[in-house]
Amino acid sequence: MAEAMARVGDLELCYEQFGDPGAPPMLLVMGLGTQLVGWPDGFCAALADRGFRVIRYDNRDIGRSTHLRDVKPPTTWQLLRRDRRAAAYDLGDMAQDGMGLLDALGIADAHVAGASMGGMIAQLMAARHPGRVRSLASIMSNTGHRWRGMPGLRIYPLFLRRPARDRDGAIDSAIEAFRRIGSPGFPFDEGEVRSLAERSWDRGHDPAGSARQLAAILVSGDRGAELRRIIAPTVVIHGTKDLMVTPSGARATARAIPGSELVWIEGMGHDLPREAWPRIVDAIAANAARAGAPARQAA
């Protein structure tokens, strides 16, 4: 299905769907500065083949969704100080965006899977809207604790570098970033990363929007207490070689959410390598089955 727009409060959110419209919905929430295409087409198709109506969308301030261009982006100093005045919104507002998208689509409840910042948003959806989240998959994410799941020291320069000024520079920058944070246990597919970077630039490049999203993460604090209220069946999926959100974040998340299952992907970093899709899709589908959703076997 082609991309479409949904009105959610004062925002327009861009979304796309895969699979049978009558199947149980699976809402996919992507991470910091990453558009809906960050959920690879083939990954979405694999979930659809397992019996889900898959919905991926651009968070606010990214891609083709509304950008808050009238809000000044935070400075590096404000981000380092976690200055609340630097944030135009927080993760709770972004979780409400996802609920609003479900409302716009006439969906009462859905399975939810989120990656990185998207995992943080998905966690809050499950904690604050328990009747609307059938199951939760928190992928390469954390609880917001200051010392759990924080980036490795060699990753910090990625946050501080100047944004690329042109298409070629942005593509080269993305390839460099994924070489650092990607999965050392799987082949690095430069062509796939390049294609994603090209699609992302062409859909809408906005470093200021990514900075506002980063401020939303930093001011949202530790969500651990809230996560203890989650009642949806939950799977926590994480790579053993993740340098962006280190594995301690997964352990903290699994400890915080009652009854959650922790699934490690050996050799995976902070990306979704094609060779790991079957394991990740299996884990998401098996967890959803705990809530009564179909869990078809992969062909």
- pLDDT for 225 equals 94
pLDDT, the chain, mean: 92
What is the DSSP-derived secondary structure letter of residue 255?
A: H
Residues 82, 74: contact at Cβ < 8 Å? no
Apex 185 CA angle, 184 and 190, nearest 5: 55
Query: Which uninterrupted H or E stretch holds 254?
Result: helix 248-256
- pLDDT for 159 equals 65
Domain ranges of the chain: 4-289
89 band by pLDDT with thresholds 50, 70 and 90 = very high
Alpha-carbon gap, residue 205 to 199, rounded angstroms: 10
SS3 call for 182: coil
237-242 average pLDDT score: 97
86 band by pLDDT with thresholds 50, 70 and 90 = confident
Q: Is the pLDDT of residue 294 over 70?
A: no
- pLDDT for 76 equals 73
- pLDDT for 165 equals 80
What CATH number belongs to 4-289? 3.40.50.1820
246-256 average pLDDT score: 96
19 band by pLDDT with thresholds 50, 70 and 90 = very high
pLDDT tens by residue, 96-153: 999 999 999 999 999 999 999 999 999 999 999 999 999 999 999 999 987 786 776 6
pTM: 0.94
Alpha-carbon gap, residue 113 to 236, rounded angstroms: 10
Query: Which uninterrupted H or E stretch holds 29?
Result: strand 25-29
- pLDDT for 248 equals 95
- pLDDT for 79 equals 75
- pLDDT for 163 equals 77
- pLDDT for 299 equals 42
- pLDDT for 160 equals 64
